[in-house]
């Protein structure tokens, strides 16, 4: 039996979905609640109302609990627009910019800031949410971490801090082409990933001169189908292989890794597997972090915040 004192709520409130996790002090998830009330569906900016209604059962059981939120809920389109902390940054630097709001029921919600890299080309790069995953994965070891997603991030951990990072719009290119391009009408996505088709997409990029020819390589999904050499059930995974391998090719050219090095992949299971396979095709030693990194990161930042406020 957990005492309510050790419980916290970690929010994953994105553009199209709402998710709340009830976690203990060690980061174990005790309960979860989800809905499609994403940021964009909240009427009149009534984020407090949506949140309070979603958490009624937990409040009845435990009273008001401290809530922590990272990611897009703290963006221009969300509840409050949180600042971006500049790299290099660690949990303490993020905690120092956490903003706490009082809620009508006597509880609080604390927003974790985003991160920016002012050295990025051509404009400062930004992340919201991934900084919390990186903290949860651990900043104790110097290493390169890739976080797959709509806007995938490559980040460098050095000297106990997030040192620099760079965004690749890989997931967005894959998603918009899969849904809206020449292949949307022909492709039939299989129930489970077709890893052989995925590997063929990776090979199109790795075997083809020159590096970075994404606009021409993408057409292979169509020409392969027209030539009878790519089946409609293979097209989506082949597209995925072309796009993700192109990200690795760009990342290598941008100095994020060299063959034979170690790179960590942190994210949800399906994308981690996609990136693990691609990384190995590029000669990398891949280690993986799990979905719990976000929760652990939130709690690590919370511990600093509560320590700071407790000491004050």
170 binds a second copy (CB under 8 A): yes
Beta bridge partners of 20: 11, 33
H/E stretch holding 77 reads: none
Angstrom distance (rounded) from CA 117 to CA 84: 9
Are 95 and 37 in contact by the 8 Å Cβ rule? The answer is: no
Instruction: Write out the two tokens for 37.
Output: 């009330």
Among 80, 103, 213, 286, binds a second copy (CB under 8 A): 213
Angstrom distance (rounded) from CA 285 to CA 144: 11
Of the pair 9, 72, the CB lying nearest a second copy is at 72
| Minimal distance, residue 76 CB to a second copy, in Å | 8
Of the pair 133, 170, the CB lying nearest a second copy is at 170
Angstrom distance (rounded) from CA 146 to CA 148: 6
Angstrom distance (rounded) from CA 125 to CA 113: 14
Maximum distance among all Cα pairs of the chain, rounded to whole angstroms: 70
| Minimal distance, residue 215 CB to a second copy, in Å | 4
Among 92, 101, 169, 286, binds a second copy (CB under 8 A): 169
| Minimal distance, residue 265 CB to a second copy, in Å | 17
307 binds a second copy (CB under 8 A): no
Listed ranges 29-37, 91-99, 101-109, 173-181: which one lies at the site for a second copy (CB under 8 A): 173-181
Residues at the interface with a second copy (CB under 8 A): 120-126, 150-151, 166-170, 172-173, 176-177, 179-182, 204, 207-216, 218-220, 223-224, 226-227, 229-230, 243, 246-247, 249-250, 253-254
């Amino acid at each position: 039996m957990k005492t309510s004192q050790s419980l916290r709520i970690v929010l994953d409130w994105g553009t199209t979905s709402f998710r709340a996790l009830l976690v203990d002090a060690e980061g174990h998830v005790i309960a979860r609640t989800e809905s499609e009330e994403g940021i964009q569906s909240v009427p009149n900016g009534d984020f407090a109302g949506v949140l309070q209604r979603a958490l009624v059962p937990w409040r009845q059981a435990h009273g008001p609990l401290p809530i922590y939120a990272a990611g897009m809920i703290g963006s221009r389109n969300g509840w409050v627009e949180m600042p971006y902390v500049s790299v290099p940054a660690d949990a303490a630097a993020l905690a120092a910019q956490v903003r706490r709001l009082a809620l009508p029921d006597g509880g609080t919600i604390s927003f974790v800031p985003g991160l920016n890299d002012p050295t990025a080309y051509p404009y400062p790069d930004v992340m919201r949410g991934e900084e919390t995953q990186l903290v949860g994965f651990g900043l104790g070891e110097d290493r390169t971490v890739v976080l797959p997603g709509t806007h995938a991030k490559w980040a460098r951990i050095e000297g106990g801090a997030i040192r620099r990072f760079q965004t690749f719009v890989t997931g967005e290119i894959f998603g918009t082409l899969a849904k809206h391009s020449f292949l949307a009408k022909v492709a039939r996505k299989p129930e489970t990933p077709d890893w052989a088709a995925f590997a063929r997409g990776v090979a199109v990029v790795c075997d083809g001169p020159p590096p970075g020819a994404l606009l021409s390589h993408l057409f292979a999904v169509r020409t392969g189908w027209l030539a009878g050499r790519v089946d409609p059930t293979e097209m989506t995974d082949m597209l995925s292989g072309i796009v993700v391998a192109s990200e690795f090719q760009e990342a290598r050219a941008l100095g994020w890794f060299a063959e034979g090095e170690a790179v960590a992949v942190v994210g949800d299971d399906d994308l981690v597997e996609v990136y693990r396979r691609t990384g190995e095709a590029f000669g990398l030693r891949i280690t993986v972090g799990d979905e719990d990194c976000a929760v652990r990161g939130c709690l690590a930042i919370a511990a600093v915040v509560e320590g700071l406020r407790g000491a004050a």
